[in-house]
Homo-oligomer: A and B are copies of this chain.
Amino acid sequence: MIIRDVIVTPIAFRDPPLLNAAGLHEPLALRSVVRLVVDGGIVGLGEGGGGQQLIRGLEAAGPAVVGKSVFDLNGIEAAINAVLGGGDDALARRDRRAVFSPIEVAAHDAQGKILGLPVSTLLGGAVRDRVPYSAYLFYKWAAHPDPVTGEIGEPDAWGEAVTPEGIVRQARTLIDRYGFESIKLKAGVFPPDEEIAAIRALAEAFPGYPLRIDPNGAWSIETAERVGRELGSILEYFEDPVLGLDGMSEVRARTGLPLATNMCVVAFEHVREAVEKDSVQIILGDHHYWGGLRRTRELGAICETFGIGMSMHSNSHLGISLAAMTHVAAATPTLTYACDTHYPWNREDDIVRPGALEITGGAIAVPTGPGLGVELDEDALERQHRVYLDSAQRDRDDAGYIRRFQPAFDPQLPRF
C-alpha cells in the first residue's frame, strides 16, 4: 500500500474555439495526468489542470509522497504542503490544494483498486446511482482561425454559435446526443441584450428545462440587476453575474435571485465572508481546487449546514476527471444540481478507454468497478503527451489568443 512512484504527464488535447469573457479557447487545452504506482503493481489515476505552475508543483510533490501509504491522505497532503511552501492566504492554499487534488484522486483510485471498491463507496457510498450533468453551451466561432492569416475556413463539426439561433442549434445537438435535461450558457461575450435573447430562445425551444447563465463576472452591478430582472423568472440560478463577494451581495440584495459562483468562493477561506454577506446561494464545487474528493464532500457538509446549495464547476477535462467528478457527486448528498462538464467538447481525445462513462439521458451511471472505474489507454496518453511536447503552449491564455485576431480585445472586467 506504499506509494513507490509518482508519474506526472502533461498532456494537450484539441479544444474548439469557445468564447468566454476572458477571450477564446485555444486550439489545445492543457491538463496533467498523475499515476501513483503502489505496491503490487497497482496504479492509481488522477487528472489535474495544466499550466507550468501546477506541473512544477506536481513534479515537486511526487518525491515527497513516495514512501507514504496510499491510504494516508492527511499525511500525503501535509508532505505536499511542506515541499510547496508558500503563503497562508486563500489563493495560496487553493494553489496547494490544486496540486494535492490529482494525487488525492489517484490515491482514491488506488485504494479502490486495492480494496475492490468504487471510489463513491470510499467516500461514504453513492446516494444516487446516476449523476446528472447539464448541457454546457458556448458562443463559438465556426472554426479556429488560420494561425497565420487569421482566416476562419470551413466550420468544424460543431459549427458557429454567435446568435440565439446558433445557441439553440448547439443545445439541440447536445441534447439530442446526450439527453441533457438542464442547460447552462457561458455568457459575458456579447452585449447583454443578445445573451438575454439567447436565454429566451432556449426557454422557448426547451420549455421546462432549468436554465443557467454565467458571464464570469463580465457585468456591472447595474447590468446584472437588469439581466436578473429580465431573466429572473426563467433562471434556475444566476452564476457569477459580477465579480467579488461585495458585488454579488449587492446583486443578491437587488434581485433576490439565487446566485451561484465558482469565482468569488474558490477556497474554504472565502466561505465565511460569503455567508456573512449573503453573497452566494449556490457554490459550484470543484475537487480540482477544493483539495480533492474528501474535501469536496466536506464542502458539501458546509453548504448543507449553512443552507447553501451545491452544484459543480468544470474546466476543459478528460475522462479521469469526469469519473472523479461523478463519484464525488454521487457521494455528496447535498449536491443536487446537475453538474457542469466540458466533456462533450473534448472527449474525442480522451485518454481513458471508452465505455465506462457514457452520458445518456443527461446523466452518467456511477461506475461500480474498483476505484474510479476507468482504464487508462496508455497509447492515447502517449499520443496526447506528444501533442503537448510538440506544441509551444505551456499556459492557458484565452485573452492572448483572441487578441491575435481581435487586437482591441480588452480582458478587463466588468465589460458591460
Interface residues of A (CB under 8 A from B): 69, 71-76, 78, 115, 117, 121-122, 124-127, 268-269, 271-272, 275, 294-295, 297-299, 301-302, 304-307, 331, 333
Contact = CB atoms under 8 A, between A and B. Distances in A.
A306 B305 CA distance: 12
A115 B391 CA distance: 45
Contacts of A307: 272
A301 B302 CA distance: 8
Main secondary structure of the interface of A (DSSP, over half): helix
A74 B124 contact: yes
A299 B122 CA distance: 19
Contact of A268 (B74, B271, B272, B305): B305
8 contacts: A72-B121, A72-B125, A73-B125, A115-B115, A268-B305, A272-B275, A275-B275, A298-B298
Closest 10 CB pairs of A and B: A298-B301, A74-B125, A72-B125, A268-B305, A73-B124, A74-B124, A71-B121, A75-B125, A74-B127, A271-B305
A268 B127 contact: no
B268 A304 contact: yes
A126 B69 CA distance: 12
Contacts of A304: 268
Contacts of A127: 74-75, 78
Contact of A305 (B75, B76, B302): B302
A280 to B, nearest CB: 14
B333 A74 contact: yes
Nearest to A126: B74
Oligomer: number of copies: 2
A301 B268 contact: yes
A221 B103 CA distance: 50
A294 B69 contact: no
Select the residue from A78, A117, A298, A331 with max chain B CB neighbours within 10 A. A298
A124 B331 contact: no
A228 to B, nearest CB: 25
A297 B299 CA distance: 12
Given A275-B275, A305-B268, A331 B298 contact: no
A121 B114 CA distance: 15
A15 to B, nearest CB: 34
Contacts of A125: 69, 71-76
Contacts of A272: 275, 305-307
A326 B299 CA distance: 24
A69 B125 CA distance: 9
Contacts of A295: 301
A306 B303 CA distance: 12
Select the residue from A295, A301, A331 with max chain B CB neighbours within 10 A. A301
A118 B40 CA distance: 21
Contact of A71 (B74, B78, B117): B117
B294 A124 contact: yes
Given A71-B117, A71-B121, 16 more contacts: A71-B122, A72-B125, A73-B124, A73-B125, A74-B125, A74-B127, A74-B333, A75-B125, A76-B125, A115-B115, A124-B294, A269-B305, A272-B306, A272-B307, A301-B301, A302-B305
Contacts of A124: 72-74, 294
Contacts of A299: 301
A4 to B, nearest CB: 18
A332 to B, nearest CB: 9
